Structure 1
Amino acid sequence: MIRKITLYLASAVLLLGTASCGADDSIEQAAAQSVEQFEAMGMPGMKNDALFVAEATSANMLHMQLGELALEKAVSPEVKEMAQDMSTGHTRVLEDLQQIAIEREFVVPNQLGRAHQKVYDDVSSETGIGFDLAYIKRTREEHDRLLKRYEDMAENAQVMEVKQFASKQLPLLRQHLQQTEALEDRLGDI
């Protein structure tokens, strides 16, 4: 019990350190801190797992934030419905990922990575039907990238919990990708 509390506090300190580092990318910072920790514990070769956990954390935060934004700004009821599904699904995924991060001592970002922040900024700058189309397009692109990354980690992760997590999320990511592709096809003619 004391070990878990100590680990939790150490993770919190590292997260605060990540937030205060400034202009560097939060994903890269979190991954570097995780790798440093693992190497200090005599666990080399954890860079890919650490980077994935940090990327996945930021990506899930992105989809939650974009979903909330779309619930406010979207014109199309179909886009609002999809945004609600995305936000709910990615909230559950993030909760699962955060649990693994705590248990396995990964450092995670508490803000969007630079690339994810750019996606959010690009989509949020749009209005009306332009917002709906930008939201769908960027959500599809991001899910396509996520699916490939999760498939890779389901095969190649070093940490069994990370491998299982990635594998478990594949059906949801495939569903989200199909949902965005279908909606993009329907609204793409506008």
Structure 2
Amino acid sequence: MKKLIYPVLGLAIALSVQSCMDNNKAKYLNEKTLADDGGVALIKNGIEGGMTEIAASKIALKNSQNSKVISLAQQMITDHTQADKTLDSIEFDKMLTEKDTISGEHKEMLDSLRTKTGAAFDRAYISMMIHDHKEAIDLFTDASDNKNQTIQDFARATLPTIKDHLKMAKDIDASLK
């Protein structure tokens, strides 16, 4: 009987240690997320990026007089609203519960945009669109090979739209100079 106690005790300790090492805990819950780190990065950064793009584009509708910039802003609002709805659904499905917010860096960019008008606004807005969409392409390209099929499918389906957004922003940028 004594010989059996040590292996059982060892197994219990090993299981306890293993359960403490789980890195995929959902924030505020003791449940596992259903996404790996790459998937969480896509979901969280994608939602934040979308929220930022929508906010910046709403400012563009007010502060720009350039028809190309206004057209791009309307496209950003439409496309990012749809993508954010899908990401919100994936976020819920993957049990991620951390509140979605806009980062301090993006808030500063938005505050700066609010103070600009005319050509200065257009250059700043388009510069932001180019920068953010380049980062988004990297993020979505990485997620295109994610182990989770839902995340992988979303990344692959969305990547062409992001590339189109970047091309539109670059074309407008060339016309502003």
Q: Work out whether the TM-score is over 0.5.
A: yes
One of 73, 90, 94 as aligned partner of 2:63: 73
Q: Please, what TM-score do these two structures have when normalized by structure 2?
A: 0.78
Q: Is the 8 A contact 1:53 1:108 kept in 2?
A: no
TM-score with structure 1 setting the length: 0.73
Shift of 1:120: 1.6
Structure showing greater Rg: 2
Letter in 2 for 1:49: G
TM-superposed CA distance for 1:162, in Å, is: 1.1
Name the residue aligned to 1:51. Answer: 41
User: CA offsets per residue over residues 65-121 of structure 1, 9 Å max, x none?
Assistant: 111110011121111111001111111110111111112212353321223223222
Q: Which runs of 5+ in 1 are unaligned?
A: 1-33
Q: Percent sequence identity over matched residues? A: 19
Alignment-mate amino acid for residue 87 of structure 1: I
Q: Is residue 101–residue 108 contact of structure 1 (8 Å, CA) maintained in 2?
A: no
Instruction: Tell me what 1:86 maps to.
Output: 76
- Which shows bigger deviation, 105-114 or 55-64? 105-114
Instruction: Give me the whole-angstrom Cα distance separating, in 1, the residues matched to 2:68 and 2:165.
Output: 14
Equivalent position of 1:151 in the other structure: 141
| 1:162 to 2:154 alignment | no
| 1:125 alignment counterpart | 115
Moved more, 95-104 or 107-116: 107-116
Q: How many residues align?
A: 154
2:14 is aligned to none
Partner of 1:150: helix, strand, or coil?
A: helix
The aligned amino acid for 1:171 is P
Q: Residues of 1 paired with 2:33 and 2:84: CA distance?
A: 25
Cα distance between partner residues in 1 of 2:77 and 2:99 = 19
Residue aligned with 1:37, SS: coil
Larger mean CA deviation between 77-86 and 120-129 belongs to 120-129
Partner of residue 29, structure 1 = none
Change (3 A) 1:178 1:44: closer
Give distance in 1, aligned partners of 2:128 and 2:32: 40
Give distance in 1, aligned partners of 2:112 and 2:33. 39
Q: Larger % of helix: which? A: 1
Q: Distance in 1 between matches of 2:120 and 2:33?
A: 48
Asked if the contact 2:133–2:162 (Cα under 8 Å) also holds between the matched residues in 1, the reply is yes
Tell me, yes or no, if structure 1 residue 182 matches structure 2 residue 166: no
Match of 2:130 among 132, 140, 143: 140
- What CA distance in whole angstroms lies between the structure 2 residues aligned with 1:126 and 1:161? 40
